């Protein structure tokens, strides 16, 4: 791993903050084993759609990271607030990390390069090293647009508040078991499906486009992440709002963007057939 992953990561050792968070939510999800109900499952699935699809996939990824379409500010903020409930750090850190990933994909400067194997891009980079704890200079370099936006700065500062509010709402509706499913279970499911994009979608699947990295189109990950698993397509055309390019490549997030367009909430939508091929970085192992 040390020959592939940025050696700076190894100066930090175990990231105890992230280890504590990962352990806490996984432990809190254990009672799911004996608290199943259709209502609880619905809370998990609806919450995962709101947080994973509308929030992370649309809000943080396609809209804020890649600016693949334009939307009203209120929608930017709402989608980002949804995404904060993924507990994947505040939006400023997440977006900076993903922009770094695209700048140095699968090289020693990629925060979650897949070259060391499955574990590092899936969870290793989260619990070992600096993870998404970027310094001020890095943040200013990669997210100057968000740092200038007071609304996004506030969302990043108080990113933990929405999930607390959601826990109270779910408790009022269905008691502690619904909190277990709709908060802890949803967070754990969302973590692993998102991490699958970093791991499985850089290891297994088709590579129809020569992108100079390890990205693949993985149908299994695409189903779990509402279309984010068509990752080789995405790395070929990073700013395209549409990731599923073939008729059989189901892309729920793209369908939602089209719906937003009909409602007047999305405009200046960028598509793959209007973009130039990306510059392939030197992939030094």
Reduce the DSSP state of residue 128 to 3 states and report it: strand
Cβ proximity of 219 and 204 under 8 Å: no
Helices (H) and strands (E) in the chain, counts: 14, 0
Q: Work out the percent of the chain whose per-residue pLDDT is above 90.
A: 91
N-to-C CA span, the chain:
11
Whole-number pLDDT of residue 8: 53
From the list 270, 138, 272, the residue with the least C-alpha distance to 211 is: 272
Cβ proximity of 187 and 21 under 8 Å: no
6 has a pLDDT exceeding 80: no
Paired residues of 206 in beta bridges: 217
Tokens representing 217 are 């189109």
Higher pLDDT, residue 150 or 278: 150
Tokens representing 155 are 């969302």
Banded model confidence at residue 7, pLDDT cuts 50, 70, 90? very low
Whole-number pLDDT of residue 279: 41
Tokens representing 282 are 């030197």
Cβ proximity of 241 and 68 under 8 Å: yes
Whole-number pLDDT of residue 35: 98
284 has a pLDDT exceeding 90: no
Whole-number pLDDT of residue 276: 54
Tokens representing 145 are 């647009």
Paired residues of 14 in beta bridges: 128
DSSP secondary structure string, 28-62? HHGGGGG---HHHHHHHHHHHIIIIIIIIIIIIII
pLDDT in tens, 91-113: 999 999 999 999 999 999 999 99
Q: What is the chain's alpha carbon radius of gyration, rounded to the nearest angstrom?
A: 18
Work out the average pLDDT over 218-223. Answer: 98
122 has a pLDDT exceeding 50: yes
Whole-number pLDDT of residue 167: 98
**280 CB neighbour count, 10 Å cutoff:** 12
- Crossing angle of helices 161-179 and 38-48, rounded to 10°: 160
Tokens representing 46 are 């609806």
From the list 284, 258, 263, 271, the residue with the least C-alpha distance to 68 is: 271
DSSP secondary structure string, 82-108? HHHTT-SS-HHHHHHHHHHHHHSTTST
Banded model confidence at residue 11, pLDDT cuts 50, 70, 90? low
Report the distance separating Cα 257 and Cα 45, nearest Å: 20
Whole-number pLDDT of residue 12: 72
pLDDT in tens, 167-198: 999 999 999 999 999 999 999 999 999 999 99
Least confidently predicted of 109-113, 249-253, 269-273:
269-273
């Amino acid at each position: 791993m040390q020959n592939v992953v940025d050696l700076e990561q190894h100066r930090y050792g175990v990231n105890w903050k992230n280890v504590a968070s990962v352990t806490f939510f996984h432990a809190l999800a254990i009672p799911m084993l004996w608290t199943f109900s259709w209502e609880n499952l619905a809370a998990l699935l609806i919450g995962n759609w709101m947080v994973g699809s509308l929030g992370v996939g649309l809000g943080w990824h396609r809209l804020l990271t890649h600016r693949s379409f334009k939307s009203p500010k209120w929608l930017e903020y709402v989608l980002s607030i949804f995404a904060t409930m993924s507990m994947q750090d505040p939006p400023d850190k997440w977006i900076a990390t993903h922009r770094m990933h695209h700048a140095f994909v699968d090289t020693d400067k990629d925060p979650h390069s897949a070259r060391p194997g499955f574990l590092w891009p899936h969870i290793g980079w989260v619990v070992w090293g600096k993870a998404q704890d970027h310094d001020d200079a890095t943040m200013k370099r990669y997210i100057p647009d968000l740092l200038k936006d007071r609304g996004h700065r506030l969302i990043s500062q108080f990113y933990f508040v929405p999930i607390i509010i959601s826990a109270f709402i779910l408790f009022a509706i269905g008691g502690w078991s619904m909190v277990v499913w709709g908060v802890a279970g949803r967070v754990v499911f969302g973590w692993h499906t998102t991490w699958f994009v970093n791991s499985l979608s850089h290891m297994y699947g088709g590579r129809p486009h020569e992108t100079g990295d390890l990205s693949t189109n993985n149908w299994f990950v695409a189903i779990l992440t509402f279309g984010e698993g068509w990752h080789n397509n995405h790395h070929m055309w990073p700013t395209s709002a549409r990731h599923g390019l073939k008729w059989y490549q189901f892309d729920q997030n793209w369908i939602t963007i089209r719906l937003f367009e009909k409602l007047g909430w999305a405009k200046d939508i960028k598509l793959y057939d209007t973009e130039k091929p990306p510059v392939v970085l030197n992939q030094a192992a």
